[in-house]
Structure 1
Amino acid sequence: MISNFERKYGKYAVKNLTLYLIAGYVIGYMVSLINPTLYGLLTFNPYMILHGQIWRIVTWVLTMPEELSIFTIIMLILYYQLGQTLERTWGTYRYNVYLISGLIFTVVGAIVLYVVLTFVYKDTFSSQTLGSYIGAYVSTYYINMSIFLAFAATYPEEQLMLYFIIPIKIKWFGVLYGAYILIDIYNAFSYARQIGTYVIAIITTVLIVMSLLNFILYFISLKKNGGAFSVAQAKRKKQYRQQVNRARQNQTYQNGARHKCAVCGRTELDDPNLTFRYCSKCSGNKEYCQDHLFTHKHM
C-alpha cells in the first residue's frame, strides 16, 4: 500500500523533514521567550481543540519537547543526523510517512483518550481539567525517540561515542531507551498509587504507546519479512531502478518495440493493453508480460 501511494504522491514528500521539525522547535522557543501567553495558545489541549481552537492540532509540534539546555541541543543535532540517514536509506516519502504517522497517532490517541476519560471520570474530573492533563503530556519527545529507535533497528551494529570517548553499538542504546520507557510507565503507575487515582498513569502510558506506534509497526515489519524500510530492501530497490532505467534507455527492438516478453516474445505492438515488468531476480534485465511475470523460471 505504501508503495502504491509513493508512486502517486511521492513527488509531494518534504525533503529534510527533520530539519523543519527542529526549526519548529526554535520558533516555539523564541515565541515562549517573547510572548508566553501566545506560546500557551500553541500547546495541545483536546478540550480547547473541541471548543474551536483547532489550530492546536498542528501548532503543538512547535513546542519544545523539553527545556532548552546544551544536552538538548546535542540530542537534537544527533536526531537530525540520524533522521537524514534514515531519509537517505528509506527514501524521502517513506521517511515522511514514518515521522508524520507518529505525529498523527499522537493526536488521534490524545483526542480519543480525552473523550474516553471524560466519560469514565465525569464525576471526578471536569472535562477542562482532563484536557489540561492530557495536553501537559503531549509533546514530540517520544516522536524524536522513535527516530533513534528506528535507526537502532535499521543499523544495529553502528557505533556511537558515549561521552565522545567510549564506542558503544547503537543497538544497546536502543535497549537502554526501551528500558527508560518502561521505567517512565512504572513511575507513572507508582505515582498513581500514591495519589489514589490512575488517570495520570493511563494518560502517560497511552500517549507513550501512540507516540511510538510508528516504530512498533516498523519493528514488527522488520522482524516479519525484512521490512519494507530495511537497508537491504532500500539497496535492492535502488539497484533495480538503475537496471530498469538503463534497460529503457538502451533497449529498442528491430520492429521498433521497447518492451518484449522473454517467454512468449510478445511486444506492446502486438497488444497495446499488455503490461510489462522487469524481474529483479533474473540477470540481464529480463522483461516479462503480465501473463508470465509470476510464472516464468528465473534465469
Structure 2
Amino acid sequence: MDFLNKMERKFGRYAIPNLIIYLIGAYCIGFFLQYLSPTLLGYLNMQPYYVLHGQIWRIITWIFQPTDSNVFFLIIMMLFYFQLGRVLENTWGTFRFNVYIFGGILLTVVGSLLMYGVIYLIFGQASAYMASSLMGGIISTTYINMSIFLAFAAMYPDMQVMLYFIIPIKMKWMAWVYLAFIGYDLIRTFASIHAVLGTAMAWWVTIIMLVTILLSLLNFLIFYLSTKNLQRYTPHEVHRRRAYRASTGESRRGAKISKHKCAICGRTELDDPNLEFRFCSKCEGNYEYCQDHLFTHKHVHRS
C-alpha cells in the first residue's frame, strides 16, 4: 500500500480515467473484426513466436481478441463490466484501477512468453510454434474480466445480483460459480481436443489455458495480498475518517461547504450539480450515497 501511495503521488496524473470504457471498446472492435476481417484479427492476437520475430504490436493488440461470438451475450457482458469497472475505479481511485488492469495485461504477456520459452527449450521449435498458434486463439481479456469480477466480489461480497436475470445470488457465491465455469471450460476443451488431436495435444492445450488463466488472475492475488488494510475502503471507514477530518477543522476556511457527500467516492454536489444523493435505510448510521453507489455499496452493520 505504501508503494502504491508513492507511485500514485508521482505518476497519478498520467492515469487514464474511465479505462473500462476503452477496454469495452476494444471488445467491440474485436467482435466486428472476427466477421469483417478475420485475417486482420489473426495479425493482432498474442502469439509469442511472431512477437519474438518483430511483430511487437501483438503485445498490446491481443486485447482486441473477442471474448464472445454472440452479440446478445456481448452486450450483457459490456453493460455488466462497465458497471463493475466504474464502481471499482470510484472506490480505489483511477490510478489504482489502472495499475490493476494493466498489471493483469502485463502478467498475461509475460506468462505467455515464458511458457513459449519453456516449450521451446524442452520440445524444440516446432512444438513451440504450435503452442504459440494455440495461444493466439486462447489468450483474450476473458480472464482480465474475471479479475475485475473477483475484485468487485471481494469488495462487495454481500451485494446481490440476478444470475441470468432470474436467480438472486450474492457476489461471493457468484465468484464460486465463475470458478466452476472455468473448470468446466478446461474439461470441455480437453475433451474436444482429445477427440481430434489425441491425448498429448489435449494436455498441452489444457495446460496452456490453465497457465493463461492463473497469470491473468495473478494481479488479483498480488493486489490483495499486498493490500492488507482493505478496511480503509469500506463505507463505514471512509465515513469515519471524513467525519474525523471535519471535526478537527481540516476543511479550508472560505471554501464552499457541501450539504451532501457520498460515503464511497466522496463526491459532493459541488463536484457535479446533477448528482443525486440518498441516505440508505439499510445502513446502521448516517450514511449518504450518490446515485452511482446507492445500490452497489456494502451495507454497514455495527453489530
Amino acid at match of 1:31: L
CA contact (8 A) 1:221 1:228 kept: no
The whole-number CA distance in structure 2 between the counterparts of 1:42 and 1:249 is 52
Matches within 5 A, 1:52-201: 52-122=54-124, 125-187=126-188, 195-197=198-200, 198-201=203-206
Amino acid at match of 1:164: F
Aligned partner of residue 161 in structure 1, secondary structure: strand
The whole-number CA distance in structure 2 between the counterparts of 1:165 and 1:22 is 25
The answer for the alignment partner of 2:35 in structure 1 is 33
The answer for the alignment partner of 1:22 in structure 2 is 24
Matches within 5 A, 1:198-213: 198-213=203-218
Q: CA deviation at 1:209?
A: 0.2
Aligned partner of residue 168 in structure 1, secondary structure: strand
CA contact (8 A) 2:31 2:69 kept: no
Aligned partner of residue 252 in structure 2, secondary structure: helix
Aligned partner of residue 44 in structure 1, secondary structure: coil
Q: Please say if 1:43 is aligned against 2:59.
A: no
The structure having more radius of gyration, on CA atoms, is 1
Q: CA deviation at 1:126?
A: 3.6
| C-alpha spacing 1:28/1:192, structure 2 compared with 1 (3 Å) | closer
Amino acid at match of 1:113: M
Q: CA deviation at 1:201?
A: 2.2
Aligned partner of residue 161 in structure 2, secondary structure: strand
84-93 vs 181-190, which deviates more? 181-190
Aligned partner of residue 165 in structure 2, secondary structure: coil
66-75 vs 101-110, which deviates more? 66-75
Identify unmatched segments of 5+ residues in structure 2: 255-303
CA contact (8 A) 2:232 2:238 kept: no
CA contact (8 A) 1:90 1:231 kept: no
The answer for the alignment partner of 1:235 in structure 2 is 238
Identify unmatched segments of 5+ residues in structure 1: 252-299
The whole-number CA distance in structure 1 between the counterparts of 2:136 and 2:244 is 45
The whole-number CA distance in structure 1 between the counterparts of 2:171 and 2:115 is 33
| C-alpha spacing 1:250/1:45, structure 2 compared with 1 (3 Å) | same
Amino acid at match of 2:147: S
Amino acid at match of 2:16: V
The whole-number CA distance in structure 2 between the counterparts of 1:52 and 1:244 is 60
Figure out how many residues of one structure are paired with residues of the other and give that number: 248
The answer for the alignment partner of 1:269 in structure 2 is none
The whole-number CA distance in structure 1 between the counterparts of 2:129 and 2:108 is 19
Q: Please say if 1:226 is aligned against 2:226.
A: no
The whole-number CA distance in structure 2 between the counterparts of 1:43 and 1:105 is 16
CA contact (8 A) 1:13 1:93 kept: yes
| C-alpha spacing 1:93/1:237, structure 2 compared with 1 (3 Å) | farther
Q: Please say if 1:13 is aligned against 2:8.
A: no
CA contact (8 A) 2:8 2:95 kept: yes
The whole-number CA distance in structure 1 between the counterparts of 2:243 and 2:78 is 35
Q: CA deviation at 1:54?
A: 0.5
| C-alpha spacing 1:228/1:157, structure 2 compared with 1 (3 Å) | closer
| C-alpha spacing 1:93/1:128, structure 2 compared with 1 (3 Å) | same
CA contact (8 A) 2:45 2:58 kept: yes
| C-alpha spacing 1:119/1:24, structure 2 compared with 1 (3 Å) | same
Q: CA RMSD in A?
A: 2.9
The answer for the alignment partner of 1:280 in structure 2 is none
The whole-number CA distance in structure 1 between the counterparts of 2:187 and 2:232 is 32
Aligned partner of residue 55 in structure 2, secondary structure: coil
Q: What is the percent sequence identity of the aligned residues?
A: 41
Amino acid at match of 1:17: L
Q: CA deviation at 1:144?
A: 0.6
The whole-number CA distance in structure 1 between the counterparts of 2:179 and 2:73 is 20
